[in-house]
Amino acid sequence: MTVLCALAVGTPAVGAAEPFGTVRYHQMVPMRDEVRLATDVYLPSGPGPFPTLLVRDIYGNGSAPGRQRYARWATEHGYAFVFQNARGRYDSEGAWYPYFQEINDGYDTLSWIEGQPWSNGKVGMFGTSYLASVQWLAALGQHPALKAIAPAMSPGNYYRDVAYPGGAFSLLSRASWGIGLVGSRTNMTFQPGL
């Protein structure tokens, strides 16, 4: 992923002396429908603008140890790192309906990053599972700032490979996923027939 992002997003400043030059926690980034998404921004030490690595997440917030490792690695290598909770998850506003808003929210987040004074306008995304799905969906929006994605553990067809493998609904898979999401602040919306 380092090579993919470095080539596609742009050559970052090498080895900033101090990671996390600036950290901005809990910025509420507005989407086109005025719902605001909780977003943490980590900037390297030194002068910008910087290429940016973006993670949009439903499973944890930016203070989780794994998320802090991502931010440290990114800033140590001269990237801005943006961590955002998806709509309706943790401190983000709105209702979360899986996959439904991710194209527009991804596009609006990329526009927000591109417009920041610390951004050089080049963004790469990475992540696994649902964090991979949001990358594919953001790519569908064809935002010019999105230069690279690195999705991992992402099925080719969610209907056939995850929800209905072999044609039968996978209750165990879907129920365990849903149960795993309970316990964090979320406003989940289920719409029959979608």
In angstroms, the CA 101 to CA 59 distance is: 16
Strands 80-85 and 119-128, by their bridges, are: unpaired
Mean pLDDT, rounded, of the chain: 82
Question: SS3 for 160?
Answer: helix
CATH architecture of 2-181: 3-Layer(aba) Sandwich (3.40)
Read off the pLDDT band of 6 (50, 70, 90). very low
Record the pTM: 0.81
User: Domains of the chain: which residue ranges?
Assistant: 2-181
* Model pLDDT for residues 42-91, shown as the tens digit of each residue: 999 988 899 999 999 988 776 667 778 889 999 999 999 999 999 999 89
**Region class of 121: left (phi > 0), else alpha (psi between -120 and 50), else beta:** left
For residues 141-148, give the mean pLDDT.
98
